[in-house]
């Protein structure tokens, strides 16, 4: 039997899929019985590096604005679906799981072509277009946040699949080694800045202001910039009066969280889930274009994060400073976030997929 996954575009889609695949392997599935479908972005390197078979297809997303490219999209989807279906037949695929994004629609159609059972996982509070289209074809719609359940049929709230290393996260135990890894002083409050796998210019810019106003004896910055923005941010960091370490990308995110005391970031679904499982207080600036406000609300409604709309970005240095000087408030926020964590998502999904495969 073979399990197929469709995940592409950003880490928000790809890493949850990899976490479920890893859970299948832990449960006894051979890696050769797992195949990933995607396009030509990060998944094309990240999936093979993780040891899984990757099949790239030519596919693109729907343009939100009027574009001639949309006219040819149905033909692109049909070709991709046929290619995926051919691979699924050759591999005797019985279970297909999609994780949203442009690659999910042809994968869902391919599952239907070969008679495989279809499952989907929605990482965000507001479902994306692909998952909304496929939800009625799916046996189960796994969702990350409780407020998503009413939006998709046959939903089961499981959380976002997080890598196994986060299950044993302990900041007190890991902090010293983590700070040595990044060459950060042990005796200061550390602000971690996360722009997502692609970076976020607005957060990079506001971090310059935070660094300019900060007391170097009290605050250091560990900045995950995104590859495209690293050189520019690193130049700002060199000129800063505070300790400001920059990294373009981090594969060991548990060490990033172990090194920091609070976070400034977007409100991507994985970021929110990682803040919860690591008990990290944060100031988040949701990206409204992809409805991240709903993700943020999961922790914000309980007091675990401070939400600042991008239109009010000037508030961010103030909100960060208030948290830097108030460790008791940070401790309360950390407790709230940990109480909302759902660490078993990957195992729960893998268990359900195995049950389906055994019935097939």
Show the 3-state SS of the chain: CEEEEECCCCHHHHHHHHHHHHHHHHCCCCHHHEEEEECCCCHHHHHHHCCCEEEECCCCCCCCCCCCHHHHHHHHHHHHHHHHHHHHHHHCEEEEEECCCCCHHHHHHHHHHHCCEEEEEECCCCCCHHHHHHHHHCCEEEECCHHHHHHCCCEEECCCCCCHHHHHCCHHHHHHHHHHHHCCCCCCEEEEEECCCCCCHHHHHHHHHHHHHCCCCCEEEEEECCHHHHHHHHHHHHHCCCCEEEECCCCCHHHHHHHCCEEEECCCHHHHHHHHHHCCCEEECCCHHHCCHHHHHHHHCCCCEEECCHHHHHHHHHHHHHHHCCHHHHHHHHHHHHHCCCCCHHHHHHHHHHHHHHHC
- Is the pLDDT assigned to residue 92 strictly greater than 70? yes
Looking at residue 229, its pLDDT comes to 84
Same-domain status, 187 and 222: yes
Is the distance from CB of 255 to CB of 109 less than 8 angstroms?
A: no
Greater pLDDT, 201 or 312: 312
Q: Report how far residue 243's alpha carbon sits from residue 222's, in angstroms, rounded to the nearest whole number.
A: 8
Query: 20-67: per-residue pLDDT in tens?
Result: 999 999 999 999 999 999 998 889 999 999 999 999 998 765 444 444
Average confidence (pLDDT) over 77-88:
92
Same-domain status, 55 and 76: yes
Looking at residue 1, its pLDDT comes to 66
- Is the pLDDT assigned to residue 328 strictly greater than 50? yes
Is the distance from CB of 346 to CB of 164 less than 8 angstroms?
A: yes
Same-domain status, 183 and 273: yes
Looking at residue 63, its pLDDT comes to 45
Percent of the chain surpassing pLDDT 70 = 95
User: What's the total number of domains in the chain?
Assistant: 2
- Is the pLDDT assigned to residue 317 strictly greater than 50? yes
Same-domain status, 105 and 184: no
Looking at residue 71, its pLDDT comes to 41
Domain containing residue 315: CATH number:
3.40.50.2000
Same-domain status, 249 and 354: no
pTM above 0.85, yes or no: yes
Percent of the chain surpassing pLDDT 90 = 82
Looking at residue 59, its pLDDT comes to 78
Same-domain status, 330 and 184: yes
Greater pLDDT, 58 or 185: 185
Is the distance from CB of 38 to CB of 54 less than 8 angstroms?
A: yes
Looking at residue 9, its pLDDT comes to 84
Domain that holds residue 70: 2-162+343-359
Greater pLDDT, 199 or 245: 245
Greater pLDDT, 137 or 61: 137
Tell me the pLDDT band of 224, cut-offs 50, 70 and 90. very high
Same-domain status, 184 and 57: no
Mean confidence (pLDDT) of the chain: 92
Same-domain status, 105 and 83: yes
Same-domain status, 155 and 178: no
Same-domain status, 298 and 211: yes
- Is the pLDDT assigned to residue 74 strictly greater than 80? no
- Is the pLDDT assigned to residue 115 strictly greater than 60? yes
Looking at residue 65, its pLDDT comes to 47
Greater pLDDT, 265 or 102: 265
Looking at residue 201, its pLDDT comes to 84
Same-domain status, 11 and 134: yes
- Is the pLDDT assigned to residue 319 strictly greater than 50? yes
Same-domain status, 176 and 156: no
């Amino acid at each position: 039997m073979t399990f197929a996954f469709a995940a592409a575009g950003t880490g928000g889609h790809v890493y949850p899929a990899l976490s479920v695949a890893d859970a299948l392997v832990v449960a006894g599935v051979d890696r050769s019985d797992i195949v990933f479908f995607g396009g030509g972005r990060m998944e094309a390197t990240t999936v093979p590096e993780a040891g899984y078979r990757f099949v790239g297809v030519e596919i693109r997303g729907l343009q939100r604005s009027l574009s001639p490219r949309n006219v040819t999209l149905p033909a692109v989807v049909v070709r991709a679906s046929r290619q995926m279906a051919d691979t699924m037949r050759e591999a005797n695929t019985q279970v297909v799981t999609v994780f949203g994004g442009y690659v999910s629609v042809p994968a869902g159609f391919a599952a239907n072509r070969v008679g495989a059972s279809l499952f989907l996982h929605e990482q965000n509070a507001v479902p994306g277009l692909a998952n909304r289209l496929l939800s009625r074809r799916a046996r189960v719609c796994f969702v990350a946040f409780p407020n998503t359940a009413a939006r998709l049929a046959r939903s089961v709230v499981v959380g976002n699949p997080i890598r196994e290393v986060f299950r044993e996260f302990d900041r007190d135990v890991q902090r010293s080694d983590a700070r040595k890894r990044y060459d950060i002083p042990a005796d200061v409050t550390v602000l971690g800045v996360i722009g997502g796998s692609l970076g976020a210019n607005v957060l990079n810019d506001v971090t310059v202001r935070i660094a300019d106003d900060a007391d170097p004896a009290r605050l250091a910055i560990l900045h995950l910039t995104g590859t495209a923005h690293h050189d520019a941010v690193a130049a700002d960091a060199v000129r800063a009066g505070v300790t400001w370490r920059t990294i373009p990308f981090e594969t060991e995110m548990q060490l990033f969280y172990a090194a920091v005391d609070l976070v400034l970031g977007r409100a991507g679904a994985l970021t929110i889930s990682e803040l919860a499982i690591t008990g990290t207080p944060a100031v988040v600036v949701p990206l409204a274009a992809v409805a991240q406000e709903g993700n943020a609300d999961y922790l914000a409604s309980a007091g675990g994060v401070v939400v600042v709309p991008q239109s009010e970005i000037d508030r961010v240095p103030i909100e960060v400073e208030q948290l830097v000087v108030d460790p008791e408030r940070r401790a309360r926020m950390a407790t709230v976030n940990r109480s909302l964590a759902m660490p078993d998502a990957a195992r729960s999904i893998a268990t359900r997929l195995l049950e389906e495969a055994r019935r097939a």
